[in-house]
Amino acid sequence: MARIVAGIASSHVPAIGVAMDRGTTETPYWSPLFKGYGPAREWLAKLAPDVAIVVYNDHANALSLELIPTFLIGVAGEFPIADEGFGPRPVPVVKGHPELAWHLAESLILDEFDMTIANEMPVDHGLTVPLSVTCGKTDAWPFPVVPICVNVVQYPPPTGARCFKLGRAIRRAVDNYDADLRVLIYGTGGMSHQLQGERAGLINQTFDRAFLDGLTKDPLALTGITHTEYMREAGSEGVELVMWHVMRGALDDDVTEVYRHYHVPASNTAAAVLILENKGAA
């Protein structure tokens, strides 16, 4: 049977992708961040999952305000790279896993999560930057991906508690998938940041560090954080952290924290990577 072996949380700051695409990762500005991702890349290469579920948000690229799905799953065989307004990133097309994706879509809907299903969809930096920064520069991504897209662009996003329950439902669906697959799940976005208004540039290291601790040890307690609290404490775009709850909900209650790295600033953002393993599953 399939099983979720680990979860990884990662920020998806577009400037991180630009630094990789332009080869500026060794500059004094960027090298602390990329060095911090080094152990995560090594861990991931060793883990060699068969497939990854990537929970991310689209930023006005595949989706516009025309249609705003709260939760969406991509079932395509491949996902092209979006032009976000400055040409597509020079990274490989993302291969999908239609069989697992359709299983998840059907299971989640019957489990009372009313997913939107996408047969065709480009993917943006929300998905490709976490892949780039954890897989490195490559001609082909090392595993296929099932994209799960969460609305955080139009208020209100789904609550943290709802996201955690979606993670639980993903876990049940994977556990019932009749193939011997080792599955990794990504939660992306965050940490504290605000891109807009006179308050742009807000960073809250105290909030972020407590969130990292809590996600490992007591994730249910964190699911009660309201949108207003995220926006007030972690910046208006810090509300992206709800997506980390999806990842955490798909893991065991009791996990091993394998690695974390936290860095300020990545452009306007506090960037972190956190790796959690289900005990004995990897």
Partner 1 sequence: MNQPRDYDSIPGTYVYDGRRGRIGYALNMFCMSLNDAKNRALFKADPASYLERYKLTPEQRRTVLDRDWLGMLKVGGNIYYTIKIAFCDGLTFQDVAGMMSGVTKEAYMQMMLAGGRSPEGNRYKQTAESEESAHG
By CB under 8 A, name the binding residues for partner 1: 14-15, 59-61, 64-66, 82-87, 153-156, 192, 194-205, 207, 227-228, 231-233, 236-237, 264-265, 267-268, 270
Of the residues 193, 245, 261, 263, only one is catalytic, namely 193
Pairing verdict, β 51-56 and 182-188: parallel
Q: Which of these, 199, 214, 185, lies nearest to 277 by C-alpha position? A: 185
In the complex, least distance from residue 232 CB atom to partner 1, rounded to whole angstroms: 5
Q: What's the residue count for the chain?
A: 282
Q: Is 49 left (phi over 0), alpha (psi -120 to 50) or beta?
A: beta
87/280 with CB nearer partner 1: 87
DSSP 239: G
Long-range contacts of 77-80 (CB under 8 A, 24+ apart): 79/121, 79/122, 79/123, 79/127, 79/145, 79/147, 80/122, 80/123
In the complex, least distance from residue 258 CB atom to partner 1, rounded to whole angstroms: 27
In the complex, least distance from residue 277 CB atom to partner 1, rounded to whole angstroms: 31
67/140 with CB nearer partner 1: 67
Q: Which two tokens stand for residue 272?
A: 């972190």
60/221 with CB nearer partner 1: 60
C-alpha 174, offset from chain centre: 18
In the complex, least distance from residue 233 CB atom to partner 1, rounded to whole angstroms: 6
Is 193 in the active site? yes
Of the residues 97, 125, 245, 263, only one is catalytic, namely 125
161/264 with CB nearer partner 1: 264
64/138 with CB nearer partner 1: 64
Q: How far apart are the first and last CA of the chain?
A: 14
Residues 6+ apart with CB under 8 A from 96: 74, 75, 76, 77, 78, 79, 144, 145, 146, 147
In the complex, least distance from residue 187 CB atom to partner 1, rounded to whole angstroms: 19
DSSP 85: S
**Interatomic CA distance for residues 213 and 225, integer angstroms:** 15
Catalytic residue annotation: 125, 193
